[in-house]
């Protein structure tokens, strides 16, 4: 089909894999940086406002991220970042 544009759908798995890669490579991933990058590169659909009124990453993405890292990443709830353990 000539002139057709192929659309790609970004999945929660791709976003979670990006998060895992970032933590592996940098050793740390701040939530604010992750939210900004995800919004810009993967879309607003992976961001929501949590009960505390803060921007957060889609729950499905975080669930997949946790499954992917298999306990090798820890969340620092005081500083709002994930760190490689």
| Residues in the chain with pLDDT values less than 70 | 1-7
68, 20 in Cβ contact below 8 A?
yes
Residue given tokens 């798995």 in the structure block: 13
Phi-psi region of 43 (alpha: psi -120 to 50; beta: other; left: phi over 0): left
CB half-sphere exposure, 58, CA atoms < 13 A: 19
Instruction: Specify the number of domains making up the chain.
Output: 1
What is the value of pTM for the model shown?
A: 0.88
38 lies in a domain? yes
User: CA 65 from chain center: how many Å?
Assistant: 7
7 lies in a domain? no
Q: What is the pLDDT of residue 8?
A: 73
Provide the CATH number for the domain around residue 44. 1.10.10
34 lies in a domain? yes
Residue given tokens 């057709």 in the structure block: 4
Q: What is the pLDDT of residue 3?
A: 57
5 lies in a domain? no
Query: 61: domain range?
Result: 12-84
3 lies in a domain? no
């Amino acid at each position: 089909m000539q002139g057709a544009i192929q659309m790609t759908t970004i999945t929660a798995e791709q976003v979670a894999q990006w998060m895992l890669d970032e933590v592996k490579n940098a050793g740390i991933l701040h939530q604010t940086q992750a939210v900004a990058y995800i919004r810009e590169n993967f879309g607003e659909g992976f961001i929501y406002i949590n009960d505390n009124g803060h921007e957060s990453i889609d729950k499905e993405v975080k669930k997949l991220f946790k499954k992917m890292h298999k306990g090798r990443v820890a969340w620092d709830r005081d500083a709002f970042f994930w760190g490689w353990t």
